[in-house]
Amino acid sequence: MIVFTVNGKERQVDVSPDTPLLWVLREKLGLSGSKFGCGEGLCGACTVHIDGSPQRSCITPVGDVQGKKVVTIEGIPENNLVKKAWLDQEVSQCGYCQPGQIMSAVALLDKKPKPTDADIDSAMSGNLCRCGTYGRIRRAIHVASGNPAKKGGKKS
């Protein structure tokens, strides 16, 4: 039995410790917000926070989260500034990558509340967007950070 906390609730799962965390979240716990993209930890669609750090759940064995705290997109409050900025800046197109993008952005702002463009580009570089909304993503992160100098500009 593997025991860990998900979105503030202690959970127990009876699965092999090498089962990817993504499948446990989606199939065993019914948390389908984290998406399967590449299955190799390259695209970021499956990003969750493990003890506050963004991690790829598709390549994280569930045994590695024994006793740890996991937060999924479902655990980020609707009134979170990043989620609000995502809507205000009309970031999403197809939306598939957005849970992972938001999880990475939340982690960035937790670590660095007033990021520069370079900070954002570095933190978000491992998250792929098939629709190419990178300009909107950067702008939304600046909006969420309260950086008025970076709020404006044309929507891409």
Q: 43 and 16 in one domain?
A: yes
Among the three residues 75, 93, 112, which one is the final residue of a domain in this structure? 75
The pLDDT of residue 97 is above 60: yes
Strand 2-6 with 53-56, pairing: unpaired
Q: 65 and 20 in one domain?
A: yes
Q: 107 and 45 in one domain?
A: no
What CATH number should be reported for the domain holding residue 10? 3.10.20.30
Mean of all residue pLDDT scores within the chain? 93
Q: 71 and 12 in one domain?
A: yes
Q: What is the pLDDT of residue 153?
A: 44
Tokens representing 62 are 């569930």
Strand 47-50 with 9-13, pairing: unpaired
Which pTM does this prediction carry? Answer: 0.91
Residue-number span of the structural domain to which 122 is assigned: 81-150
Q: What angle do CA 102, 103, 106 make, to 5 degrees?
A: 80
Q: 101 and 71 in one domain?
A: no
The pLDDT of residue 152 is above 60: no
Strands of the sheet containing 47-50, edge to edge, are 9-13, 2-6, 69-71, 47-50, 53-56
pLDDT tens for each residue of 43-57: 999 999 999 999 999
Strand 47-50 with 69-71, pairing: antiparallel
What is the band of 93 on the pLDDT scale with cuts at 50, 70, 90? confident
Cα separation, 11 vs 4, whole angstroms: 6
Q: What is the pLDDT of residue 155?
A: 42
Q: 139 and 125 in one domain?
A: yes
Strand 53-56 with 47-50, pairing: antiparallel
Into how many domains does the chain fold? Answer: 2
Q: 22 and 67 in one domain?
A: yes
What is the band of 147 on the pLDDT scale with cuts at 50, 70, 90? confident
Q: 64 and 86 in one domain?
A: no
